[in-house]
């Protein structure tokens, strides 16, 4: 559960002074390819104050790969996909975790850090997948398919995780289902990820739910073919939450972290940069571009409205006021933690 303080968001009264410019100069060099110079005086005062407060409060900021570059590259301490954030959240020695992502990620961080304070900058940062299924739905599926293990995508609420046998992410879904050694599984809630798992494990019957990501479901195979018609050398990387016709057109299918590794492994071309399109949330390309100047990105821009609710002023407000704290009912948390820890043990 997320508790809301009715106090309005306070906008920081911070100035772009010569001291702030000097303090943040190295950070701007890092993001200069994706943040115009004219915007930096707006961001830099917030960035400097956030980083000061992190030190003062022994806080750490976790940012998902879909966060905007000014969060991802200048104030975040730990970045990655859902699995990477969960693994690193379990290791942190910080007293306070600020999760720049969406609610289910903050709940996961709380599950593996029950004694730490976990904050989210905006309570409205939800997830269409997490909202597509309830704990009661999972119980109904168990009734319909008795003695069938339930594998739940990490993009779900703690209450749904509590009804599951094990969690997974897009990066390890196939391996986790395979590790169960069964002929049939219930895989919730992403229908397209379930279909991808089934395509990789033809001997396993995968019973799916009809949940979809509002970002990935908008891509189409027709759209990908148009990109290829414009440039036959284009490399298409797609997230497994995309529809099957999109995955069929892709050169590579994988999680956001797997996409990042793929791009990093591309060699610089002598005459022209390699060209890549990442079929996922569009801030992903901005963040990967920072570390890969030898690659040119085609940027289809399907934005996640929930991820974009996180902003520098809201992150600062969170650290200033210790809002908004994530809490989970202990009875739910104990069962949900078991499903998450099974996933983490598999992934370590």
CATH of domain 130-213: 3.40.50.10800
- Residue 228, pLDDT above cutoff 70: yes
Q: What is the mean pLDDT of the chain?
A: 93
Percent of the chain with pLDDT over 70: 96
- Residue 49, pLDDT above cutoff 70: yes
Cβ-based burial of 7 (10 A; exposed 0-12, middle 13-18, buried ≥19): exposed
In this predicted structure, what is the pLDDT of residue 31?
96
3-state secondary structure of 237: strand
| Fold match flag (18-125+306-321 vs 130-213) | yes
Residue 237 contacts by C-beta under 8 Å, 6 or more apart in sequence? 250, 251, 252, 253, 254, 259, 262, 263, 276, 277, 278, 279, 280
Per-residue pLDDT tens over the stretch 144-160: 999 999 999 999 999 99
- Residue 1, pLDDT above cutoff 80: no
Q: Look at domain 18-125+306-321 and name its CATH class.
A: alpha beta
Q: Residue 97's beta-bridge partner residues?
A: 60, 118
Where do the structural domains in the chain lie, given as residue ranges?
Answer: 18-125+306-321, 130-213, 216-298
- Residue 190, pLDDT above cutoff 90: yes
Distances (CA, A) of 106 to 9, 26, 109, 235: 20, 29, 5, 33
Residue 300 confidence class, pLDDT cut points 50, 70, 90: confident
Question: pTM value?
Answer: 0.90
For the residues 171-198, what does the mean pLDDT come to?
97
CATH of domain 216-298: 3.40.50.10800
């Amino acid at each position: 559960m997320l508790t809301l303080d009715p106090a309005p968001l306070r906008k920081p009264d911070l100035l772009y002074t010569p001291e702030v410019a000097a303090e943040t100069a190295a950070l701007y060099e890092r993001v200069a390819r994706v943040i115009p110079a004219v915007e930096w005086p707006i961001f830099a005062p917030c960035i400097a104050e956030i980083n000061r407060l992190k030190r003062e409060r022994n806080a750490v900021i976790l940012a998902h790969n879909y966060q905007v570059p000014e969060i991802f590259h200048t104030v975040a301490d730990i970045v990655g996909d859902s699995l990477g954030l969960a693994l690193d959240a379990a290791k942190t020695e910080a007293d306070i975790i600020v999760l720049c992502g969406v609610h289910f990620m903050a709940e996961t961080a709380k599950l593996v850090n029950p004694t730490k304070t976990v904050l989210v900058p905006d309570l409205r940062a939800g997830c269409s997948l997490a909202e597509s299924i309830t704990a009661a739905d999972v119980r109904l599926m168990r009734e319909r398919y008795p003695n069938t293990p339930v594998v739940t995508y990490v993009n779900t609420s703690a209450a749904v995780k509590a009804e599951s046998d094990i969690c997974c992410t897009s990066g390890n879904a196939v391996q986790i289902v395979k590790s169960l050694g069964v002929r049939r599984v219930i895989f919730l809630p992403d229908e397209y990820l379930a279909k991808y798992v089934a395509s990789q494990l033809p001997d396993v019957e995968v019973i799916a739910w009809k949940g979809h990501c509002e970002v990935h479901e908008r891509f189409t195979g027709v759209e990908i073919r148009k990109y290829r018609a414009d440039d036959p050398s284009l490399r298409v990387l797609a997230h497994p939450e995309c529809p099957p016709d999109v995955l069929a057109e892709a050169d590579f299918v994988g999680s956001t972290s797997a996409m990042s590794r793929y791009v990093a492994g591309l060699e610089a071309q002598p005459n022209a940069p390699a060209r890549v399109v990442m079929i996922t949330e569009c801030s992903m390309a901005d963040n990967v571009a920072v570390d890969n100047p030898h690659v040119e990105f085609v940027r289809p821009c399907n934005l996640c409205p929930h991820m974009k609710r996180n902003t520098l002023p809201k992150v600062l407000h969170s650290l200033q006021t210790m809002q908004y704290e994530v809490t989970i009912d202990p009875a739910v948390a104990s069962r949900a933690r078991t499903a998450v820890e099974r996933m983490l043990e598999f992934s370590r």
